[in-house]
């Protein structure tokens, strides 16, 4: 085992957090505001991603539906990544590129919001979901890494939180940090400092 690897991982993470602090404060505030507006307007959050980003989508939906740091009423959120029957039927009958967009077409309504997570920004099925959300009258928050990829350059996406790094683990670490910050901002805005 190498202590250098451990030290480098922590140092890279610390440096990336400093960099993100400089560039992401306003995008995080904007994203949290969009979620608050969606929920207060009677809408719901749909979330999607692949692999680790699928886990992040489920984690975020769970924080909203259950609770984050305070006891409060549940907030409407659905991860589009958890129903194996739906995902495999769409992948089999259509294609894997449509596993999220078909669900957005079925569940999304004007005023709802899509959280689209892709470490690379190039996941075809996540990009297709963002396009379906725009067609349904929904806004999208894109959470990406690297240069943002095609998802980050999609002109229908108003809210883009990009982690400017090339390491998938470091990007994923910052994604969950950003999602936790958004949860805190949403809770604070909607519920104040209730215990």
Instruction: Please state the length of the chain.
Output: 195
What is the rounded distance in angstroms from the CA atom of residue 83 to the CA atom of residue 136? 22
pLDDT at residue 1 in the model: 67
pLDDT confidence of residue 32: 99
State residue 98's pLDDT score. Answer: 99
Q: Residue 56: what are its φ and ψ, rounded to 5°?
A: -65, -40
Indicate the pTM of the whole model. Answer: 0.96
Alpha-carbon dihedral sign for residues 37, 52, 49, 157: positive
pLDDT digits (tens, 9 = 90+) for 1-38: 689 999 999 999 999 999 999 999 999 999 999 999 99
Picking from 85, 45, 4, the residue whose alpha carbon sits closest to that of residue 179 is 45
Q: What angle do CA 91, 96, 101 make, to 5 degrees?
A: 95
Q: Which CATH class is domain 3-191?
A: alpha beta
Residue 174, phi-psi category: left (phi > 0), alpha (psi -120 to 50), beta (remainder): alpha
Q: CA 35 to CA 141: how far, in whole Å?
A: 9
Q: Mind listing the pLDDT tens digit of every residue in the chain (195 residues)?
A: 689 999 999 999 999 999 999 999 999 999 999 999 999 999 999 999 999 999 999 999 999 999 999 999 999 999 999 999 999 999 999 999 999 999 999 999 999 999 999 999 999 999 999 999 999 999 999 999 999 999 999 999 999 999 999 999 999 999 999 999 999 999 999 998 655
Q: What are phi and psi of 94, to 5 degrees?
A: -120, -90
């Amino acid at each position: 085992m190498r202590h250098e690897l451990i030290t480098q991982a922590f140092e890279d993470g610390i440096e990336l957090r400093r960099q993100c602090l400089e560039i992401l404060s306003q995008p995080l505030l904007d994203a949290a505001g969009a979620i608050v507006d969606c929920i207060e307007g009677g809408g719901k959050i749909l979330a999607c991603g692949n692999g680790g980003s699928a886990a992040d989508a489920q984690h975020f939906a769970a924080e909203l539906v259950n609770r984050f740091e305070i006891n409060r009423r549940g907030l409407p959120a659905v991860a589009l990544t958890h129903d194996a029957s739906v995902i495999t039927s769409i992948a089999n009958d259509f294609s894997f590129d449509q596993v999220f967009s078909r669900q957005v077409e079925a569940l999304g309504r004007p005023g709802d919001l899509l959280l689209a997570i892709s470490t690379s920004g190039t996941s075809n099925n996540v990009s297709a979901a963002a396009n379906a959300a725009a067609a349904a009258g929904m806004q999208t928050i894109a959470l990406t890494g690297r240069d943002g990829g095609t998802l980050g350059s999609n002109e229908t996406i108003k809210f883009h939180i990009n982690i400017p790094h090339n390491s998938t683990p470091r990007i994923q670490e910052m994604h969950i940090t950003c999602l936790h910050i958004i949860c805190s901002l949403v809770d604070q805005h909607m519920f104040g400092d209730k215990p």
